[in-house]
A and B are shown apart, each in its own frame.
Chain A
Amino acid sequence: MTDILYTEQHEWVRIEGETASAGISKYAAEQLGDVVYVELPELGRTVEAAEEVAVVESVKAASEVYAPIGGEVIEVNAALGDAPEIVNQDAEGAGWFFKLKVDNTPATENLMDAEAYRKHIEGLG
């Protein structure tokens, strides 16, 4: 399993070969509270890094989710349609949002590793 990387906007991405899975971080899920709805992107859509790609709605707020890296949407997590609570239960695992087909060398210089992200969250107080 490869390392998980994070954005400042609290998305995560895990790149395995030409496939990258992505979702929102555990911290983001905790901040949002109970997730009640996830709007996922269309299959086949090509997105660029930082492009708005999904929407997550909780009892508190609705938030846009941005693509951590660019690529083509090749799979979405249909299970979230019936059970959005998976995002709260396992945000960085079973609660993944979508998978992208990516280049062999996707641009990751704007992303943080787990340690850097932990410090980023601490900085948010």
Chain B
Amino acid sequence: MKTSHMSSVAMETPEEVHMKPTYSGNKALAQEEKLIFELGDMAKTGVDLAEPAPIPSRLAEFERTDPIGLPGLTEPEAVRHYVRLSQTNYSIDTGMYPLGSCTMKHNPRLNEKMARLPGFADIHPLQPQQTVQGALELIDALAEGLKALTGMPAIAMSPRAGAHGELCGIMAIRAALEARGDARKTVLVPESAHGTNPATAAQCGYAVDIIPSSADGRVDVAALKAKLDHDVAAIMLTNPNTCGLFERDIIDVAEAVHAAGALFYCDGANFNALIGKVRPGDLGIDAMHINLHKTFSTPHGGGGPGAGPVVLSSALAPFAPLPYVVHGPDGWRLIENHDEAGDQADDAAPFGRLTAFHGQMGMYVRAYAYMLSHGSDGLRQVAEDAVLSANYVMASLQDVMSAPYAGPCMHEVLFDETFLDGTGISTLDFAKAMIDEGFHPMTMYFPLVVHGAMLIEPTESESKESLDQFIASMRFLVLAAKNGDVKRFKSAPQFAPRARLDETAAARKPVLRWHPN
């Protein structure tokens, strides 16, 4: 007797069998996995719950009677589903992740151990403050460490990400300008800036004026000074900039900005190059966010929430947003409103409440563990090793690839696609081939100031052996490109769970919803 699933095998013709690599679609450990909504059914469950007692419904005709379509899976099915999905993912725990301007460094397991301590992991934002004194103290200790590392007198801990930190900084700047009766209209942003910078300025109601880059990849200081007038509220500068170069005129820039009555926001996304070496406060910066998920090794990129505390100069300190932690006779507590803030300092004028609660507690614990386990000498070595790694990559590849700006670079190295001229291969194709080599591609087509940008940030986490393998793989790909092996690039990735996707079709005709059959 034939069962139905057996008959589907029998229907395969010899040709069909020959063409199929495997019947299941699985390739050994690379398992094909359906969406969870295509698995199981409502009748199945992994837990044995008693049927709840009936309650009288007050929904009347609004009560839903048709199924809501939730999947039902047994526990082993649920476990396999998520394990298989995790195995198709690429992460910093899998291999090198040289995504420029993202600082994809190792997430130390010590951080994870500390974050799982019950006193940090099992608390709730609404529980009485006297029961979470240790957590509040940790927030303050981390804040003090960040202030010391940046040489800044104040900090807003609550921003949840870099862009949120930018919003916080520009709102503080706007509050400070309005407090002195000097509302201004424009924010200056270099053309190599992260896209979030002009977006933040626009979100805060400012017109954005773009400062051109000079031939050496840095901000054109003369052009910047020419734009400084009494309508300029602030400049937003990234240092090192997105070309991986130190803005060596930064003190000159800060003095000119302040002389014009404007304030200086620094995008701290690239602080990994400076930590322990340079204090932004000494450069004349008024506000800078610190991406804990970059410089301070907390997981990110799908692995965890971000956190972007903002350090503030004395000019902006009174306008720091609520809530924040203080220490008084009754221990640690959160300042939650303007009256409490006024009791703390006469000039306190918080621009408002930036977040519902104090911020990302788990990230604070991880960042503080990272800070303490490194110490000041260790953090200085982080910056030195990160810059050394990037320069090693630059020095090892610049004879075969094309660096638009002369080195030495800082923590990341920028190449353009000039070296691919005449090969028919683009930066995109090159990045796809890197996937086949087992690397996460570098940041591509950013910054926009060079053609076909390839921005590589190895971080301090990679060993010399790891860097050497990356460099050798890149040299191999350059050789393949110059030898005319176009197919290797145009069909890449060939060995990923999915081969080359049609990105144009995905953008032109996006399928954003899954529909049941």
Binding site for B on A (CB under 8 A): 31, 33-34, 36-37, 57, 59-61, 84-85
Contact = CB atoms under 8 A, between A and B. Distances in A.
B448 A61 contact: yes
11 contacts: A36-B504, A36-B507, A36-B508, A57-B507, A59-B428, A59-B504, A60-B428, A60-B445, A61-B445, A84-B508, A85-B508
Contacts of A31: 451
A34 B448 CA distance: 17
Q: Chain A interface secondary structure, helix, strand, loop or mixed?
A: loop
Given A57-B507, A59-B503, A84-B508, 6 more contacts: A31-B451, A37-B508, A59-B507, A60-B428, A61-B445, A85-B508
Interface of B: 428, 445, 448, 451, 503-504, 507-508
Q: Chain B interface secondary structure, helix, strand, loop or mixed?
A: helix
A59 B445 CA distance: 10
B459 to A, nearest CB: 25
Nearest to B195: A62
A34 B508 CA distance: 10
Contacts of B451: 31
A83 B428 CA distance: 23
B284 to A, nearest CB: 32
B412 to A, nearest CB: 20
- Of B445, B448, B503, B508, the most chain A CB neighbours within 10 A belong to B508
A37 B507 contact: yes
Contacts of A84: 508
A125 to B, nearest CB: 8
Give the top 7 A-B pairs by smallest Cβ distance, nearest first: A36-B507, A34-B504, A60-B445, A36-B508, A59-B503, A59-B504, A59-B507
Nearest to A124: B451
Contacts of B448: 61
B376 to A, nearest CB: 41
Nearest to A62: B195
A55 to B, nearest CB: 14
Contacts of A61: 445, 448
B381 to A, nearest CB: 37
A10 B503 CA distance: 25
A57 B504 CA distance: 11
